[in-house]
């Protein structure tokens, strides 16, 4: 066949375009997980900023360097090894509501333990571990529960000692602006910093009171001021925080992490 024949020209063009589309498909498929992970990070960026994990100018690379997102098996209190991840059970694309309703990956909460009024919970949750020089400095625990008009979704940050609260933030709710919506007020969120979630015996003690905390009392370290005009939303926050710190939530994980700290010689109480 002559080199400049029409058939040959079309053949070469077809071959080149097939090779190119193959290369494009390969790169799309191989880059997909990275793209999805970057999308996840972008979604939680405001949470990370709000909980003083990063500055608002941090790049995704900066975030990746200091935040390790892991799946925690709530009942076992253990971090799930990545080899056990599946398409559904994965840090990437993890959706709390879908997982709570899932027949295998979700479970019902006994009514008398359902402080957060959520009926079902995932068996696993994605926890963000904030690290500095290989050491965990903060635990960002996802928390959710019923407010007055909506389900409140947020994160509670615990310090390295797993007792001291470093902050709280809500990224989704539909409470009334100016009333229940005051859970987003930075002045109220600041009240949480430095409060103690547990007492020396490991009992959950953190509590939102009705009105103001008496700061002269020794147990003030466990108490947060209520929100005027939003008693029901504040009660919802109180219940959901207590639920997620309990045995139904992150209780087993917190205990095991504390035991690891103790074993390493660090003081935890």
Q: Give the binding site for ligand FMN (CB under 6 A).
A: 148-149, 175-176, 179-180, 228-233
Shortest distance, position 246 Cβ to ligand FMN, whole Å: 23
DSSP state of 15: H
The nearer residue to ligand FMN, 105 or 149, going by C-beta atoms, is 149
Comparing every residue's Cβ against ligand FMN, the nearest one is 180
- The C-alpha R_g of the chain, in whole angstroms, comes to 24
Helix (H) or strand (E) holding 224: strand 223-224
**Which is nearer to ligand FMN, 41 or 148 (by Cβ)?**
148
Residue whose CB is less far from ligand FMN, 78 or 225: 225
Compare residues 142 and 180 and give the one whose CB is closer to ligand FMN.
180
Q: Among residues 93 and 229, whose Cβ is nearest to ligand FMN?
A: 229
Strand segments (E) across 123-221: 124-132, 135-146, 151-159, 165-172, 207-208
The distance of closest approach from Cβ of residue 53 to ligand FMN in the complex, given in angstroms and rounded to an integer, is: 28
Quote the least distance from Cβ 189 to ligand FMN, whole Å.
16
Using the minimum distance from each CB to ligand FMN, give the nearer residue, 34 or 174: 174
In the complex, minimum distance from the CB of residue 175 to ligand FMN, in angstroms, rounded to a whole number: 4
Least separation in angstroms between residue 241's CB and ligand FMN is: 16
Helical H segments across 67-218, by residue range: 96-101, 186-190
Instruction: Please say whether the beta carbons of 152 and 169 come within 8 A.
Output: no
Least Å distance, CB 217 to ligand FMN, is: 21
Q: Do residues 250 and 155 touch, judged by C-beta distance below 8 A?
A: no
Q: List the one residue out of 104, 51, 97, 43 whose CA is nearest residue 73.
A: 104
**Least distance to ligand FMN, CB of residue 185, Å:** 13
Collapse the DSSP code of 246 into the 3-class scheme (helix H, G, I; strand E, B; otherwise coil) and give the result.
Answer: coil
Instruction: For residues 172 and 152, give the distance between their C-alpha atoms in angstroms, rounded to a whole number.
Output: 6
Longest dimension (CA), the chain: 97
Question: Nearest-CA neighbor of 74 among 244, 197, 236?
Answer: 244
Q: Which is nearer to ligand FMN, 204 or 237 (CB)?
A: 237
Looking at the chain, the number of H-run helices and the number of E-run strands are 6, 10
């Amino acid at each position: 066949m002559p080199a400049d024949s029409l058939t040959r020209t079309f053949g070469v063009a077809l071959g080149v375009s097939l090779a190119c589309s193959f290369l494009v498909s390969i790169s799309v498929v191989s880059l997909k997980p990275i793209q999805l992970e970057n999308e996840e990070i972008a979604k939680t960026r405001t949470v990370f900023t709000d909980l003083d994990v990063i500055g608002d100018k941090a790049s995704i690379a900066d975030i990746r360097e200091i935040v390790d997102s892991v799946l925690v098996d709530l009942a076992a209190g253990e971090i799930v090894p990545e080899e056990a991840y599946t398409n559904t059970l994965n840090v990437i694309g993890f959706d709390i509501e879908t997982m709570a309703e899932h027949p295998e990956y979700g479970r019902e909460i006994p009514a008398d333990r359902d402080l957060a009024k959520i009926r079902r919970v995932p068996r696993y949750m994605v926890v963000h571990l904030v690290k500095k020089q290989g050491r965990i400095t903060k635990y960002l625990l996802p928390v959710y529960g019923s407010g007055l008009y909506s389900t409140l979704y947020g994160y509670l940050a615990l310090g390295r000692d797993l007792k001291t609260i470093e902050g709280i933030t809500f990224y989704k709710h539909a409470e009334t602006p100016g009333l229940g919506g005051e859970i987003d007020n930075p002045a109220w969120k600041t009240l949480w910093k430095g409060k103690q979630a547990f007492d020396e015996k490991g009992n959950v003690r953190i509590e939102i009171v009705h009105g103001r905390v008496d700061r002269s009392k020794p147990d003030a370290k466990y108490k947060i001021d209520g929100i005027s005009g939003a008693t029901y939303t504040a009660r919802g926050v109180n219940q959901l925080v207590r639920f997620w710190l309990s045995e139904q939530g992150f209780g087993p994980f917190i205990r095991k992490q504390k035991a690891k700290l103790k074993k390493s010689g660090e003081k935890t109480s």
